[in-house]
């Protein structure tokens, strides 16, 4: 796990400290996971909105189709009404013109006065003339009456037709209004949904931009952490040949200093070497785990079929996978049978692909740019994301535990079992750590090497503790562990920040069994202050603080690990984080092969510090 961040432990918040970088990287990864989830939710929501939009558009088209014949019928009636009205107007105009002519004729008869018509009739020269004149007047009146009746009948018929058409129009009006309102409502919904779809698309683009920024931050932080891990590994190589006695050597002469310390690792939770010491003393794994994880209780979970996604390689390279037995390659809906020994190449351009064994005995060997990496149980998924290709091993969590490389298989079985239970808890509490995978195979989570780390004793430890976990307040604990705690584990709050109230089971405890660790006690040669001044002071520092004359090592946490170091100059004190202090020493050519392995250190044995002896 974090055990191999050799020099990463309890430090104050400095921007370049490994602990701070790890915290920031975890925060960025959590934010990445949240943004990936947000992106997935937005994409799913946008897909649903687009389906709704398509459905509404179909409804709108149907409503418009239903509305069209009714609207056409209404328009036809309107046209008929207009024609009838026009015809009625024409007939009324003709009738009016005729009446005006008739009235003109009557006026002619009366033009000479009220008696003219009488004179017209009785001025006849003979009876026949009188009869003709009377008949003429009668026919003219009858003709006018008939014409008036005809015009009135036509006008009445046209008026009746207009009323019928108007009633038909009135009858169609509710249906027309309903269909028009329906079409308008659907059109409004279409516009609203289209606007919402546009908003979702904008949010999706903003999320993608945010993710691109987070990916850059993640890569930068991971690169910084990788540099620290590289330095820690170089420090381990630098001091790899050192052997130490069980106690610190005598103090250095005046004007010089010797460093002596205990442990190797961040010191939170289970101490792996302490667990070994307890097992050698005859203590079983349940006692071991509950000693390091204060106040916890045991329970069993059905984890046999619980899958875990482990990122084993990632980058821009092309990776190869070779199955030891029959398997299938699945790419979308395409399934291809793969024979044993057949090599498959994967690149970013290939999209998501999966190799699934079709035999329980098949193992999948993954090759990276440097050659063979490891072989694995379960499935391998090639997953492009953020410009990188991730090779992800998917397998049951119990099989994952078989492939951990945290403790040697030669250790006592009870120590291995204690480690397996802690690792099971740690894995379960990190499910869903990122949007792509649960854990990776580095010390950022837990060291995992697939079947290359399997052994008889480790498989037995997995089988004999199957499903067993430690609980606190009804939840599986986040079981941190490290290599050697130097005799006392650290409070999680002193190393990783936060509050002990959140992780009360990660309270520091004594661990006298850590004495079996090869670096339970470690120390350096004697160095003059003049030499160390060249390690820690620049010329500007000398001008500000004077020459180095000592160290202030009083700023410690509850487990006596240093938080900061005061570099005492002849004119002042320069205070730096303990991590920066250790790195400067470990990187310097002036310190030979000596290494400061842990923050639990001092400059001379002292009765005030109980872990010196």
Mean pLDDT taken over the chain: 83
* Percentage of residues in the chain having pLDDT higher than 70: 81
> Average pLDDT, stretch 192-215?
77
- Do 155 and 250 lie in a common domain? no
Question: Any idea which of 500-504, 514-518, 587-591 has the lowest mean pLDDT?
Answer: 500-504
Helix, strand, coil % over all residues of the chain, rounded to 5? 50, 20, 30
Reduce the DSSP state of residue 562 to 3 states and report it. Answer: strand
Reduce the DSSP state of residue 377 to 3 states and report it. Answer: coil
- Do 144 and 250 lie in a common domain? no
Residue of 593, 541, 531 lying closest to 567 (CA atoms)? 541
Question: Tens digit of pLDDT for each residue in 498-510?
Answer: 778 889 999 999 9
pLDDT of residue 166: 74
* Percentage of residues in the chain having pLDDT higher than 90: 52
- Do 114 and 257 lie in a common domain? no
Most confident of 45-49, 398-402, 502-506: 398-402
pLDDT class for 24, splitting at 50, 70, 90? low
- Structural tokens at position 120: 């017209």
- Do 50 and 173 lie in a common domain? yes
- Say yes or no to pLDDT of 10 above 50: no
Q: What angle do CA 223, 226, 228 make, to 5 degrees?
A: 115
Residue 568, domain member (yes or no): yes
The number of folded domains in the chain is 2
- Do 254 and 125 lie in a common domain? no
pLDDT of residue 1: 46
Backbone phi and psi for residue 558, each to the nearest 5 degrees, phi listed first: -65, -20
Question: Tens digit of pLDDT for each residue in 463-484?
Answer: 999 999 999 999 999 999 999 9
- Say yes or no to pLDDT of 249 above 80: yes
Residue 189, domain member (yes or no): yes
- Structural tokens at position 519: 């670096």
Q: Which residues of 510-538 are buried (b: 16+ CB within 10 A; e: fewer)?
A: ebebbbbbebbbbbbeebebeebbebbbe
- Do 200 and 68 lie in a common domain? yes
- Do 48 and 90 lie in a common domain? yes
- Do 48 and 170 lie in a common domain? yes
Residue of 74, 88, 69 lying closest to 161 (CA atoms)? 88
Residue 15, domain member (yes or no): no
- CB atoms inside a 10 Å sphere around CB 49: 19
Residue 448 near residue 441 (C-beta atoms within 8 A): yes
Q: Which pairing describes strands 270-271 and 481-482: parallel, antiparallel, or unpaired? A: parallel
> Average pLDDT, stretch 366-383?
95
Does residue 525 come out as left (phi exceeding 0), alpha (psi in the -120 to 50 range) or beta? beta
Alpha-carbon gap, residue 259 to 582, rounded angstroms: 11
Residue 289 near residue 423 (C-beta atoms within 8 A): no
- Do 129 and 250 lie in a common domain? no
Report CA 555 to chain centroid distance, whole Å: 40
- Do 213 and 249 lie in a common domain? no
Residue 104, domain member (yes or no): yes
Alpha-carbon gap, residue 162 to 80, rounded angstroms: 8
CA dihedral defined by 285, 286, 289, 295, rounded to 10 degrees? -170
Residue 538, domain member (yes or no): yes
- Structural tokens at position 264: 């190797």
Alpha helices (runs of H) in 239-294, residue ranges in sequence order: 272-280, 285-292
- Do 133 and 250 lie in a common domain? no
Residue 303, domain member (yes or no): no
**Final residue in a domain of this structure, among 235, 270, 302:** 235
Q: Which pairing describes strands 468-472 and 297-300: parallel, antiparallel, or unpaired? A: antiparallel
- Say yes or no to pLDDT of 120 above 60: no
- Do 89 and 195 lie in a common domain? yes
Residue 396, domain member (yes or no): no
> Average pLDDT, stretch 115-134?
58
Residue 125, domain member (yes or no): yes
> Average pLDDT, stretch 219-225?
67
Domain that holds residue 582: 245-261+521-602
């Amino acid at each position: 796990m974090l055990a191999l961040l050799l020099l990463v432990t309890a430090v104050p918040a400095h921007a370049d400290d490994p602990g701070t970088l790890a915290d920031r990287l975890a925060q960025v990864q959590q934010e990445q996971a949240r943004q990936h989830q947000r992106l997935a939710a937005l994409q799913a929501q946008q897909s649903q909105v687009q389906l709704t939009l398509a459905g509404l558009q179909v409804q709108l088209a149907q409503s418009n189709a239903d509305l069209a014949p009714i609207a056409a019928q209404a328009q036809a009636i309107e046209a008929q009404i207009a024609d009838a009205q026009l015809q009625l107007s024409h007939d009324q105009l003709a009738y009016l013109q005729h009446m005006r002519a008739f009235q003109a004729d009557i006026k002619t008869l009366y033009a000479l006065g009220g008696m003219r018509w009488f004179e017209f009739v009785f001025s006849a020269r003979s009876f026949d003339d009188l009869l003709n004149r009377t008949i003429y007047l009668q026919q003219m009146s009858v003709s006018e009456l008939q014409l008036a009746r005809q015009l009135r009948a036509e006008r009445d018929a046209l008026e009746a037709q207009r009323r019928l058409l108007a009633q038909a129009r009135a009858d169609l009006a509710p249906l027309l209004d309903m269909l028009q309102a329906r079409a308008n409502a659907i059109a409004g919904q279409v516009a609203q949904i289209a606007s919402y779809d546009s908003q979702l698309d904008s949010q999706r683009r903003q999320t993608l931009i945010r993710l691109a920024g987070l990916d850059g931050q993640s890569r930068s932080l991971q690169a910084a952490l990788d540099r620290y891990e590289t330095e820690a590994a170089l420090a381990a190589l630098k001091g790899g040949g050192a052997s130490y006695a069980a106690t610190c050597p005598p103090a250095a002469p005046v004007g010089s200093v010797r460093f002596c310390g205990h442990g190797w690792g961040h010191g939170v939770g289970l101490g792996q070497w302490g667990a070994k010491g307890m097992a050698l003393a005859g203590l079983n794994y349940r006692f071991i785990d509950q000693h390091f994880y204060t106040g916890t209780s045991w329970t069993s979970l059905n984890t046999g079929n619980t899958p875990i996604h482990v990122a084993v390689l990632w980058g821009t390279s092309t990776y190869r996978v070779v199955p030891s037995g029959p398997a299938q390659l699945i790419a979308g809906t395409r399934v291809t049978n793969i024979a044993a020994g057949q090599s498959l190449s994967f690149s970013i351009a290939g999209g998501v692909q999966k190799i699934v064994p079709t035999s329980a005995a098949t193992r999948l060997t993954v090759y990276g740019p440097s050659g063979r990496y490891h072989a694995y149980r379960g499935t391998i998924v090639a997953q492009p994301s953020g410009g990188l290709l991730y090779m992800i091993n998917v397998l049951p969590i119990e099989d994952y535990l078989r492939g951990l490389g945290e403790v040697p298989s030669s250790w006592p079985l009870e120590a291995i079992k204690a480690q397996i239970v802690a690792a099971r808890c740690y894995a379960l509490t990190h499910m869903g750590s990122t949007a792509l995978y649960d854990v990776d195979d580095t010390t950022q989570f837990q060291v995992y090497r697939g079947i290359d780390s399997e052994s008889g004793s480790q498989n037995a430890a997995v089988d004999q503790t199957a499903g067993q976990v430690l609980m606190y307040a009804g939840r599986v604990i986040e079981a941190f562990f490290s290599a050697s705690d130097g005799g006392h584990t650290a409070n999680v709050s002193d190393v990783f920040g936060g509050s002990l109230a959140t992780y009360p089971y990660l309270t520091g405890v004594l661990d006298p069994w850590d004495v079996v660790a090869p670096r339970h006690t470690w120390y350096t040669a004697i160095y003059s202050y003049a030499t160390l001044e060249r390690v820690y002071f620049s010329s500007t520092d000398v001008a500000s603080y004077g020459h180095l004359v000592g160290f202030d090592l009083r700023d410690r946490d509850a487990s006596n690990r240093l938080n900061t170091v005061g570099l005492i100059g002849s004119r002042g004190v320069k205070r730096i984080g303990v991590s920066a202090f250790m790195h400067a020493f470990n990187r310097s050519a002036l310190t030979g092969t000596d290494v400061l392995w842990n923050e639990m250190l001092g400059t001379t044995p002292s009765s005030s510090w109980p872990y010196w002896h």
